[in-house]
Amino acid sequence: MNVTVESTAGAATAAPELVQLLTPEGERVEHPRFSLETSPEELRSIYRDLVLVRRFDSEATSLQRQGELGLWASLLGQEAAQVGSGRAQRPGDYAFPTYREHGVAWCKGVDPLNLLGMFRGVNHGGWDPNEKNFHLYTIVIGSQTLHATGYAMGITKDGSDDAVVAYFGDGASSQGDVNEAFTFASVYNAPVVFFCQNNQWAISEPTERQTRVPLYQRAAGFGFPGVRVDGNDVLACLAVTRWALDRARAGEGPTLIEAFTYRMGAHTTSDDPTRYRIADELEEWKLKDPIERVKAYLVREGWADQEFFDALEAESEQLARRVREGVRTMPDPDPSSIFENVYAEGHALVDEERAQYLAYAASFDGSEEVGEGR
């Protein structure tokens, strides 16, 4: 058997199969299979998304350090993969995220504050997924790829031309569920795009610990195309995801996109990446920053002036302030809410335990503060 094991981290510009439309230096390049036309206005809008998403993310990291959030899973370094794939979606398309898709949520129009409830500990999600077609964050690795596939099967039954994007990471590619999702999507020709953000690290384990073949090549074994895209190139991510979604809409079935990127921060704020990866690697990836290259392109083309960047900076700070104040004033749930929504139709035991709890709570002085329920 002759298996080529590619070096992963650091290979982003070298690998010939990597789809790239904007170099790390901010130079626009063409790709024979994937083209994209972007107006100056659209490019500025993309840049705005990237900047605001990064600012939101860094504010959340700060809020965790200040004790306002129990945990945060930063997307630092993955903005292009998320904004590119997020902007490729139509409102009718459905996204099934992991717990790091803050940039996708942003593009889908989900209020960033919704994403913070789980990390503050006031809920496990809480938003209405159908409002913006953005499903709840899923913490169990890879589970959501099956939900996405089932949802896509439903789209086919409905005769709709909507499509689905299932997000997961390089670590999740090892899970049975992800492989079962590939099988189901393939045999039912489901309109689902599997968008793997290969950020090189599953907590402390490198991609080499998950696979011996490049991840995008896995798709071939399941009978659908796989594409490796420069995950730090927002234009390439947009073009390839749009292409894959178009395929899905046209009844041509699933696609696997491996967005080759890098997690610049820790897995979560509980993690210490200095224990498992070297500083050189980080420095190398800093040169491929997804935002700087768009900025360089905008400036080179003369499509954005200092006034634009200053206004965006002010908008970023405004967003950060709104997030900070929103988190700090986020109310704790009523204690009796733990009994709500356990079942859609009620359950005798839940009702009994709710009544017991309320009676117990009421037995204390000032019981009205302990929680009267509804």
Contact positions vs another protein (CB under 8 A): 123-130, 135-136, 138, 140, 143, 145-155, 157-158, 176-177, 180-181, 183-184, 187, 340-345, 347-350
Q: Tell how far CA 2 is from the center of its chain.
A: 34
User: Tokens representing 41?
Assistant: 């206005």
In whole angstroms, the minimum distance from the beta carbon of 341 to another protein comes to 4
Residue closer to another protein by CB (options 21, 152) is: 152
User: Tokens representing 90?
Assistant: 């139509």
Read out DSSP for 346-369?
--HHHHHHHHHHHHHHHTSTTHHH
Q: Tell how far CA 326 is from the center of its chain.
A: 22
Please report the sign of the dihedral spanned by the C-alpha atoms of residue 169, residue 174, residue 178, residue 182.
Answer: positive
Cα(143)–Cα(177) distance, integer angstroms: 6
Contacts of 322 (CB under 8 A, 6+ apart): 113
User: Tokens representing 40?
Assistant: 């100056």
For this structure, is 276 an active site residue? Answer: yes
In whole angstroms, the minimum distance from the beta carbon of 26 to another protein comes to 40
Are 358 and 334 in contact by the 8 Å Cβ rule? The answer is no
For this structure, is 374 an active site residue? Answer: no
Are 339 and 354 in contact by the 8 Å Cβ rule? The answer is yes
In whole angstroms, the minimum distance from the beta carbon of 254 to another protein comes to 13
In whole angstroms, the minimum distance from the beta carbon of 70 to another protein comes to 17
Residue closer to another protein by CB (options 22, 245) is: 245
Residue closer to another protein by CB (options 49, 93) is: 93
Residue closer to another protein by CB (options 37, 158) is: 158
Residue closer to another protein by CB (options 173, 207) is: 173
Read out DSSP for 88-131?
TS-TTSEEE--S--HHHHHHHT--HHHHHHHHHTS-S--S-HHH
Residue closer to another protein by CB (options 143, 255) is: 143
Rounded (5°) CA angle 213-199-132? 115
What single letter denotes the amino acid at residue 59?
A: E
Residue closer to another protein by CB (options 104, 136) is: 136
- Name the catalytic one among 276, 300, 347, 360: 276
- In Å, how far are 13, 155, 159, 184, 255 from 251, measured between CA atoms? 33, 11, 10, 15, 12
- In Å, how far are 5, 108, 166, 194 from 95, measured between CA atoms? 31, 9, 6, 10
Rg of the chain in Å (alpha carbons): 22
In whole angstroms, the minimum distance from the beta carbon of 134 to another protein comes to 12
In whole angstroms, the minimum distance from the beta carbon of 349 to another protein comes to 5
- Name the catalytic one among 102, 147, 247, 267: 267
User: Tokens representing 339?
Assistant: 């009994």
For this structure, is 263 an active site residue? Answer: yes
In whole angstroms, the minimum distance from the beta carbon of 144 to another protein comes to 8
Catalytic residue positions, numbered: 263, 267, 276
